Structure 1
Amino acid sequence: MPTIVCVAGARPNYMKIKPVLDALEARGARTALVHTGQHYDESMNEVFFRDLGLRPPDHHLGTGSGTHAEQTARVMTAFEPLVDTLAPDAVVVVGDVNSTLACALVAAKAGRVVAHVEAGLRSRDWSMPEEINRVVTDRVSDLLFAPSPDAVANLRAEGYRDDQIHLAGNVMIDTLYTNLDRALASDALARHGLTAGGYGLVTLHRPANVDTPEMLAALLEALGQIAAGTPLILPVHPRTATRLESAGVPAGLRLIPPAGYLDFIALQASARLVLTDSGGVQEETTALGVPCLTLRDNTERPITVDEGTNQVVGRDPARIVAAAAAVLRDPPARRRPALWDGRAGERIAEVLLGRLRTPDAPRPTDLVALLAQRGR
């Protein structure tokens, strides 16, 4: 059986890699779990491994934080000798963080099959570092596992071959369904003095929202107005905590410590409303049927708007407050996108192992070759 390296580096990766890792091992593949160390503190790391039942990493690169260039470079220089030593048949990367891009580049240059889970998502916002990571990772990958039809359409429009593109479904939802009963049995609500349906949940972490004092103040103004009628809780992301200290927290918005995976799912599932700038939360609330307002000007997950419970409301306080009032008054109906059924990891494993049994398949689309095919 082939040897497959599965890479995780930051909190969103853990929920995405677990279903793929489990499905590969169930089919007899030899796997190595590599943790790059992009997230490394307890609240963003070990607690998620425990909650998910994710085994300890076989290799920990310990790269830590830094600028985008520093972090990406450290992951690459640490991952390259490991790839040389392990000589895997394939490397699986997930999501859109710096570790995803770094390990995909190393594996592609080493001639390994690269599989990108969550391929094809596009916000078309080049101010987001994640957008650059997504596009470049897709370009060097052999197999592109898309979570939704819009992602497939993006990849086809960009010229990828049909044999590269696979509509697999959403691995985040695999993990959600696997752990939902355990999450609902959590005492998270009681611990924070909450009642189901009696509060709203907020997450803020994107630099565009929290690094500019004026923007953070505007968002806090909107949250304060909403909290006057519906209490809000905000698990404080480490990078947000220091910003909030100087910005001032409005009455009705309560800060709580960062939540582990099970606790956070419990808080989402029982919330009356979620306000977020997170991509994963848009997906989880859609699966849970909880109204979600995305505090951004765009989303790389439009299926959560078209078929889910999400609205992209931007960052204008008046618009946010009006949208919150509307959904609190008349919550949207729950709709679950196709293939968000808890089996995405299995589909990915089947395709990847099938590809490794036919190693003479073409390499990723080369831009020069693509233009030649189109007669340009």
Structure 2
Amino acid sequence: MKTTIIAGARPNFMKIAPIIHAIEKSKKSGNNIDYRLIHTGQHYDKKMSGDFFEQLQIPEPHANLEAGGGTQAEQTAAIMIRFEKELQANPTDLVIVVGDVTSTMACAVTAQKMHTKVAHVEAGIRSDDWTMPEEINRLVTDSVTNYFFTTSDIANENLKGSGVEEDRIFFVGNTMIDTLLEQRPRFQKPAIWDKLKLKEKEYFVMTLHRPANVDEEEKLKELMDEIVNNSQNLPLVFPVHPRTAKILSNVGVSHPRLHMVEPLSYLEFNYLVERAKAVVTDSGGITEETTVMGVPCMTLRDNTERPETITLGTNELLGTDPKAIKPAMEKLFAGTWKKGDVIPLWDGKTAERIVDILTILDFD
């Protein structure tokens, strides 16, 4: 069986790395399964060089479609046109897409139009917020998917509620956590650790990138002021995208304890997260990682597609009102933040379960 695996953005590679490892292991055991890895080029990341693939212990992609840049529509069109040519040149039995980026949706639609079956890893998650491009990508992808690999019972119920038959839904766990648990012993201390004289549980990690938080300058300034004023003299380490850094500079956000640094590698960033007092973020994936590592997490969003990180994990949804930060910080420093629990099947064996299922599916 031939599979084509799609990745378009940095988090996608963390999700597909364990699938590649599991396919290689299954192939060595005598199973008839192989893969072709396609990077759509949706996001250019200077840190996604040879070192990145070496860190995740995966080979360089077989092809890069180089479809980055442009508007959402332009990027979608470029990916679809180039992936169609890729499939014509290299037919496959199954296209595997992961997550919820534009590449996920564009390649799923293209594959189906070429009568190639699609498996969606991380299917069924929903924020119910149609202002998020990712939510549209999830809905469209799941509407043309054949096989649904899910991370939670909530995702299963979302799919059933939309009419997906149970025999096409496979609750397998979270491949992002496979990578986290595999790489955790290899986390690397970043240079910023010694430079700032950081100490375990005596600093915060921050990430902000969503337009609702960073594009409204006055709101961003108010958010940052609240975080700085209520973090009890602890350092705030903020790996920041250059675009966000420019906005912060425009609104005059600066403080001796606020350290805006270049984006870090996967192993360096998670070294900081694992040892942080808490994380303040508007990312979805980071809430999963903090939950598994037992690190308190404050999410500056009004909704989440990962509710299990709240009901079972260490994450709290604060919303986007800056006034919500002070009571959350008081709760954290009072030592009453929730500890979190084990999330079912987030055990590092998700990719093995996926590949075991793939080897017994009928693709005729």
Give the TM-score normalised by structure 1: 0.91
Matched, 1:41 2:45: yes
Per-residue deviation at 1:185?
A: 6.2
Could you tell me which residue of structure 2 aligns to residue 266 of structure 1? 271
Matched, 1:9 2:8: yes
| Distance in structure 2 (CA, Å) of the matches to 1:63 and 1:43 | 18
Could you tell me which residue of structure 2 aligns to residue 349 of structure 1? 355
Per-residue deviation at 1:167?
A: 0.5
Per-residue deviation at 1:215?
A: 2.6
Change (3 A) 1:188 1:320: same
Per-residue deviation at 1:184?
A: 5.7
| Distance in structure 2 (CA, Å) of the matches to 1:214 and 1:230 | 24
Could you tell me which residue of structure 2 aligns to residue 205 of structure 1? 209
Give yes or no for contact 2:221–2:248 (8 Å, CA) kept in 1: no
Give yes or no for contact 1:223–1:253 (8 Å, CA) kept in 2: no
Give yes or no for contact 1:205–1:239 (8 Å, CA) kept in 2: no
Any gaps of 5 or more consecutive residues in structure 1?
361-376
SS at match of 2:58: coil
Give yes or no for contact 2:231–2:329 (8 Å, CA) kept in 1: no
Q: Where in structure 2 are the equivalents of 1:303-314 lying within 5 Å?
A: 303-314=308-319
Matched, 1:340 2:346: yes
Percent identity over the alignment? 46
What amino acid maps onto 2:341 in structure 1? R
Matched, 1:117 2:116: no
| Distance in structure 2 (CA, Å) of the matches to 1:156 and 1:127 | 23
Per-residue deviation at 1:192?
A: 4.3
Per-residue deviation at 1:54?
A: 2.2
Q: Where in structure 2 are the equivalents of 1:1-376 lying within 5 Å?
A: 2-28=1-27, 29-43=33-47, 47-183=51-187, 189-251=193-255, 252-330=257-335, 331-355=337-361, 358-360=362-364
Per-residue deviation at 1:324?
A: 1.8
CA-atom RMSD, angstroms? 1.5
Equivalences, count: 357
Per-residue deviation at 1:160?
A: 0.3
| Distance in structure 1 (CA, Å) of the matches to 2:57 and 2:250 | 37
Give yes or no for contact 1:11–1:48 (8 Å, CA) kept in 2: no
Give yes or no for contact 2:10–2:45 (8 Å, CA) kept in 1: no
Give the TM-score normalised by structure 2: 0.94
| Distance in structure 1 (CA, Å) of the matches to 2:85 and 2:196 | 46
| Distance in structure 1 (CA, Å) of the matches to 2:113 and 2:189 | 46
Change (3 A) 1:46 1:98: farther
Structure 1 range deviating more: 169-178 or 18-27: 18-27
SS at match of 1:239: helix
| Distance in structure 1 (CA, Å) of the matches to 2:359 and 2:242 | 38
What amino acid maps onto 2:53 in structure 1? F
Any gaps of 5 or more consecutive residues in structure 2?
28-32
SS at match of 1:163: helix
